[in-house]
Structure 1
Amino acid sequence: MPELHSFLYSLLLAAFLLTTCHAQQRKVHIVYMGELPKGDFSVASTHHSMLKTVLGSKSSVKDSLIYSYGRSFNGFAANLTDEEVESFSDMEGVVSVIPNHILKLHTTRSWDFMGISKDTVGPPKEGNVIVGLLDTGIWPESESFNDDGFTAPPAKWKGKCTGANFTCNKCIMDAKKHDDREFAYGSGHINPEGALDPGLVYDASEGDYINFLCKQGYNTTTLRKITWDNSSVCTSTEPGRAWDLNYPSFSVAVEDGQQILAIFNRTVTNVGSENSIYTASMYIPTSIGVTVEPSVLSFSKVGEQKSFLVMVYGPPITQQPIISGAIMWKDGIHVVRSPLVIYTILPGSTYSSSYSLPHKTPNFEGLSMYHKNGILTGK
């Protein structure tokens, strides 16, 4: 028995030391502090002082600090333990502490597919081209994964596709379908030339987004760290649904066991032809009802705005997989598509967004990626 007790004690001690070592392991984090201070002010000195307060010595600061950001925003990168991350998260003036991630680029023939080959972006345009990277996830049905012209995978390749509603080809050679697909694959393929003539756009003002953030639990203090404007105010921090944000998508979070019922107000601006008529159409499972009022929008000039209402309704749902569809405005030339998703959340959960899981309502004493109650995001 003494030997057994000694053995168990050794195991517990080893587990404790392993956990402690893991917690004390330093990893690169970005401490984001929002807007740069006004006037002649050394952000680097502030960053050194903050690090010394948490780490305790100048030598530790030198070993930890990687870079001070002082041009476009205020912040620094440093090697930090979990405990140190928590300390910085609680500091006044810190907006968030974000783990550093290294991302790798993958591409085959994307340049031609995106319409930015040499024939398209020639001498007249090449001196004034802005290149942006949009990560829209994977959508197997997208033309991006068309395997025309690709040779078969090597015979030794043993990858396979598992799941329903999609198949592998010579381009997608190993994939698994996951519960949250509509939220994971993003917007699909972006057509740069088509984006120059969208037909209709959904404009949103700064005030719209302020109202949106306030309904997600932000208060005036944390809001101003995002807007960089001391006139920004949250009149209420009571969490709620921000369905009236003029956003080109519709996300319906339904408490488990409750009836589907949501009403959205949207306004579109005509950026296409002067005289144009758009008719609403949609695709959605037959068990769900969607009404668009009015269902026809007539424009007589560019820049003209029209508002419409969308009502989504249906029977009570319980532990229902994500239901997805779309509402489209068509004028014979343009197709303006807005995705619509319906999903269940646990009773009492805060209304979550189209890209996040339900969270408990956080008490925002200081906005932090490491807030113990989680961060409330989205709509």
Structure 2
Amino acid sequence: MAKKGLMISRLYSMLFAAFCLINCHAAADANERKVHIVYMGDRPKGEFSAATTHHSMLKGVLGSASSAKKSLIYSYGSFNGFAAKLTDEEVRRFSEMDGVVRVIPNHILKLHTTRSWDFIGFTQDAVGAKPEGDVVIGLLDTGKLMNHTQTAMVLTKIKSSHKIIGGRYYNSENWYDETDFKSPRDSEGHGTHTSSTAAGDKVPGASYYGLANGTARGGVPGARIAMYKVCWSFGCATADILAAFDDAIADGVDVISVSLGADWPLAYDEDPIAIGAFHAMKNGILTSNSAGNSGPWPYSVSNYAPWTLTVAASTIDRKFVAKAVLGNGQVFTGLSINSFELHGKSFPLIWGGHAANYSAGASPDISRYCITGFMNSYKVEGKIVFCETLWDGTGVLQAGGVGTIMADDEITDFAFNYPLPATQISASDGEKVLDYIKTTENPTATILLGETWTDYMAPYVVSFSSRGPNPITPDILKPDLTAPGVDIIAAWSPVAPPSVDWEDPRSVDYNIISGTSMSCPHASGAAAYVKAAHPDWSPAAIKSALMTTATLVDPKKHEDLEFAYGSGQINPTRALSPGLVYDANETDYINFLCKQGYNTTTIRLITGDNSSVCTSTTPGPAWDLNYPSFSLAVLDGQPIYGVFTRTVTNVGPPNSNYTVWMTTQRGFTISVEPQFLSFSTVGEKKSFTVRVTGPKISQQPITSGSIVWVSSDYKYMARSPVVVYNVLPTPYSPYDSKSQRKPTFRRPSMYHKNGILGRN
């Protein structure tokens, strides 16, 4: 195990080196021009030419009109800012200019269903309402397939009568892989998958080589899609992301779906997704985000701004398995989306440790893991190889192997699809396979075609789904909710590889993959469904409806409770009629930012309104933001104490009465005042106070309760979780919005070439 750890450590180093090739700007020549975003907040009032203003600023710093024209990449118009190639000295000069909020390096972010919609109770009978055709979902992704039967694209104008209303593409770094299309067309598959999950048409008979056969459909088949291609084989550049937000806002989309994010925390005014989503919110557009695939570690959640909807990934009642059958009759069931049929034929079985490629510097301690390039083709060719870890199968495939049986306990709750017959069994079963190999003169095995089994434990949040607490604002609970994101089948680009091997030459129209990238478009589709029914609702109201009506997730399955699943699993049908909503607008979020330490000067730039004032910039808790959940971060050794103010808006019957129900765990108390709310009109607002108290706590993990506003006829129930947990004031103060944590690099096994787990 020690040598395995050393191997993984070396792989971490390789991954870090690759990361720095893209992101470590500080190591570059100071005189080399790199793409940066000059963010200046909201668009100024009155007559304003973004292109002229930004060109003039660049001319003043760079010294000539020709240099300014050559440097400029994007001039953002829906808000104020531009992207340009700048030297370190030019970055410094722009950073010191009045009117500039932040100069942001062009970081490279990464990409974070026949059954899934039915599993959450959103059956085909519920969709297809005529108003859905008035809703447009804008996706920031890898593009989409133009002529797929589920997501056929017609380039036309927003709000037209066509299903797919158009696509744009962005590449500020001008980097292209040989597989990339210089167009909105999708060569990765990811964008086709997410867009069809959100709003794909109904297509019967969809499957992945016969697996998961059924009718594929998006959440809102009647809605329309606008694709903004910001992700390529190398990842997703922040300047491109902001350009896409800029265009999506100007195009008038209703929901923006973003299945990508950073691996490390960024301040709100440095995070391009938070910036773009803020200006989208100002224009009445809700942004739905993936929570990230860095779980199950705490503080790993991505996309944590309170004006966005952050979505974790959970399972559905279906899992994919493949059986390995040994020559002695033993059968082992493992996780795999195995599309290969060996027709029961047995092949010689070999242990990877017996097939070291010594010419490549390998040894049995390395080849036992079947790492690509370290396998001896003379010994592997024509055989099934037993490997002592989870890998992508390319090590065996490139050495001429027939298939692979992998033993690993690290991933037990989702499956991969491989470029050859493969299955992943438990480590204990692996010991039995190895014993068979070592005690049998001519060991043999076969791998059976994949099967679909019922997962009776579903739903539960999958291990890779990123967890809270919120790394920047601990008093805002993230993720907000969870949605199906495990083994999801949806449309795929036939030019994209169908397995974890990006050189897999096969072609498919549908693929099964996992990730918060898959759960995000489920929430985006649900948000579009609510928007279609309530076109006048604000982004915060739609988000509140989805959160307060979410289906409860079993806490016994999750030791990290709401840090894993937020308010629960989305329930689009119930979200149409939440009864009450926690609404919020730009002013509420500005007050929140003031308490995060942003001053009046910065706030006025962000809002474009010189009347905006921060009465206090002393960092403190976010207890008075009108959020649909409650999070109390208690400094280690201090008593439990928090007072939250909230306001609910009646969106149910005009004459309605609500009583509060409370649940709590031993160790703290929740009180609500008043405990009864009476409404006489639709749109009427009522405020209340939630007080959370308890003794001093130290080193306490998350504990939680809830408050539920229940109508007198029991028809409406708006539930909000209440979580309490310990935090340390150092080294990363939870009340310091500028604190940054360093990137964490984890095991790169099964990672795609641009760092995404199983293309998610």
Q: TM-score, normalised by structure 1?
A: 0.70
Of residues 19, 28, 40, the one that matches 1:22 is: 28
For residue 400 of structure 2, what is the aligned residue in structure 1? Answer: none
2:65 is the counterpart of 1:93: no
For residue 43 of structure 1, what is the aligned residue in structure 2? Answer: 50
Following the alignment from structure 1 to structure 2, what is the Cα–Cα distance between the partners of residues 55 and 109? Answer: 56
Give the partner amino acid of 1:31: V
Note the alpha carbon deviations across 1:317-359, whole angstroms, 9 max, x for none: 2243333433222332333122323333445999x7xxxx442
Shift of 1:120: 4.9
Alignment partner of 2:104: what SS? strand
For residue 659 of structure 2, what is the aligned residue in structure 1? Answer: 279
2:555 is the counterpart of 1:175: no
Following the alignment from structure 1 to structure 2, what is the Cα–Cα distance between the partners of residues 348 and 252? Answer: 17
Shift of 1:275: 4.1
Alignment partner of 1:127: what SS? helix
Q: Is the 8 A contact 1:179 1:322 kept in 2?
A: no
Q: Is the 8 A contact 1:270 1:302 kept in 2?
A: yes
What pairs up with 1:273-352 in 2 under 5 angstroms?
A: 273-331=653-711, 332-347=714-729
Of residues 215, 237, 258, the one that matches 2:617 is: 237
Following the alignment from structure 2 to structure 1, what is the Cα–Cα distance between the partners of residues 29 and 72? Answer: 19
Following the alignment from structure 1 to structure 2, what is the Cα–Cα distance between the partners of residues 348 and 211? Answer: 25
Following the alignment from structure 2 to structure 1, what is the Cα–Cα distance between the partners of residues 408 and 61? Answer: 48
Q: Is the 8 A contact 2:35 2:84 kept in 1?
A: yes
Q: Is the 8 A contact 2:36 2:106 kept in 1?
A: yes
For residue 736 of structure 2, what is the aligned residue in structure 1? Answer: 359
Following the alignment from structure 1 to structure 2, what is the Cα–Cα distance between the partners of residues 185 and 64? Answer: 38
Note the alpha carbon deviations across 1:159-188, whole angstroms, 9 max, x for none: 6447xxxx7255988638767489554322
Note the alpha carbon deviations across 1:274-325, whole angstroms, 9 max, x for none: 4444332344331111112233334444333333221101111224333343
Shift of 1:146: 0.8
Structure 2 vs 1, CA of residues 265 and 67 (structure 1 numbering), >3 Å: closer, same or farther?
Answer: closer
Following the alignment from structure 2 to structure 1, what is the Cα–Cα distance between the partners of residues 46 and 466? Answer: 53
Give the partner amino acid of 1:34: G
Structure 2 vs 1, CA of residues 179 and 158 (structure 1 numbering), >3 Å: closer, same or farther?
Answer: farther
Following the alignment from structure 1 to structure 2, what is the Cα–Cα distance between the partners of residues 361 and 174? Answer: 29
Shift of 1:260: 1.0
Q: Is the 8 A contact 1:269 1:303 kept in 2?
A: yes
Of residues 315, 318, 340, the one that matches 1:148 is: 318
Shift of 1:96: 2.6
Q: Is the 8 A contact 1:275 1:299 kept in 2?
A: yes
2:84 is the counterpart of 1:78: yes
Shift of 1:143: 8.6
Q: Is the 8 A contact 2:619 2:735 kept in 1?
A: no
Following the alignment from structure 1 to structure 2, what is the Cα–Cα distance between the partners of residues 39 and 193? Answer: 42
2:72 is the counterpart of 1:65: yes
Q: Is the 8 A contact 1:214 1:234 kept in 2?
A: yes
Following the alignment from structure 1 to structure 2, what is the Cα–Cα distance between the partners of residues 26 and 340? Answer: 48
Alignment partner of 2:624: what SS? coil
Following the alignment from structure 1 to structure 2, what is the Cα–Cα distance between the partners of residues 287 and 240? Answer: 24
Q: Is the 8 A contact 1:324 1:339 kept in 2?
A: yes
For residue 592 of structure 2, what is the aligned residue in structure 1? Answer: 212
Shift of 1:251: 2.5
Give the partner amino acid of 1:258: Q
Note the alpha carbon deviations across 1:28-50, whole angstroms, 9 max, x for none: 33222223345555433432343
Alignment partner of 2:289: what SS? coil
Structure 2 vs 1, CA of residues 312 and 37 (structure 1 numbering), >3 Å: closer, same or farther?
Answer: closer
Give the partner amino acid of 1:32: Y
- Number of residue pairs the alignment of both structures matches: 336
Following the alignment from structure 1 to structure 2, what is the Cα–Cα distance between the partners of residues 335 and 341? Answer: 19
Structure 2 vs 1, CA of residues 178 and 216 (structure 1 numbering), >3 Å: closer, same or farther?
Answer: closer
Following the alignment from structure 2 to structure 1, what is the Cα–Cα distance between the partners of residues 89 and 725? Answer: 36
Following the alignment from structure 2 to structure 1, what is the Cα–Cα distance between the partners of residues 26 and 586? Answer: 45
% same residue: 57
Structure 2 vs 1, CA of residues 117 and 239 (structure 1 numbering), >3 Å: closer, same or farther?
Answer: same
Shift of 1:20: 6.3
Structure 2 vs 1, CA of residues 109 and 168 (structure 1 numbering), >3 Å: closer, same or farther?
Answer: same
Following the alignment from structure 1 to structure 2, what is the Cα–Cα distance between the partners of residues 297 and 39? Answer: 43
Following the alignment from structure 1 to structure 2, what is the Cα–Cα distance between the partners of residues 319 and 200? Answer: 36
Give the partner amino acid of 2:648: V
Give the partner amino acid of 2:413: C
Q: Which region of structure 1 is more displaced relative to structure 2, 44-53 or 97-106?
A: 97-106
Question: What stretches of structure 2 of length at least 5 have no aligned partner?
Answer: 1-23, 138-254, 258-287, 297-310, 323-334, 337-403, 417-460, 484-569, 741-760
Q: TM-score, normalised by structure 2?
A: 0.38
Give the partner amino acid of 1:333: K
What pairs up with 1:261-280 in 2 under 5 angstroms?
A: 261-280=641-660
For residue 130 of structure 1, what is the aligned residue in structure 2? Answer: 136
Following the alignment from structure 2 to structure 1, what is the Cα–Cα distance between the partners of residues 126 and 55? Answer: 49
Alignment partner of 2:42: what SS? coil
Following the alignment from structure 2 to structure 1, what is the Cα–Cα distance between the partners of residues 715 and 406? Answer: 44
Give the partner amino acid of 2:42: E
Q: Which region of structure 1 is more displaced relative to structure 2, 282-291 or 321-330?
A: 321-330
Following the alignment from structure 1 to structure 2, what is the Cα–Cα distance between the partners of residues 321 and 178? Answer: 13
Shift of 1:63: 5.0
Structure 2 vs 1, CA of residues 251 and 142 (structure 1 numbering), >3 Å: closer, same or farther?
Answer: closer
Of residues 475, 481, 502, the one that matches 1:187 is: 481
For residue 157 of structure 2, what is the aligned residue in structure 1? Answer: none
Question: What stretches of structure 1 of length at least 5 have no aligned partner?
Answer: 1-17, 363-368, 370-379
Q: Is the 8 A contact 1:137 1:188 kept in 2?
A: no
Following the alignment from structure 1 to structure 2, what is the Cα–Cα distance between the partners of residues 185 and 92? Answer: 35
Alignment partner of 2:103: what SS? strand
Alignment partner of 1:222: what SS? helix
Following the alignment from structure 2 to structure 1, what is the Cα–Cα distance between the partners of residues 123 and 108? Answer: 28
Q: Is the 8 A contact 1:289 1:312 kept in 2?
A: yes
Structure 2 vs 1, CA of residues 119 and 57 (structure 1 numbering), >3 Å: closer, same or farther?
Answer: farther
Q: For the aligned residues, what is the CA RMSD?
A: 4.2
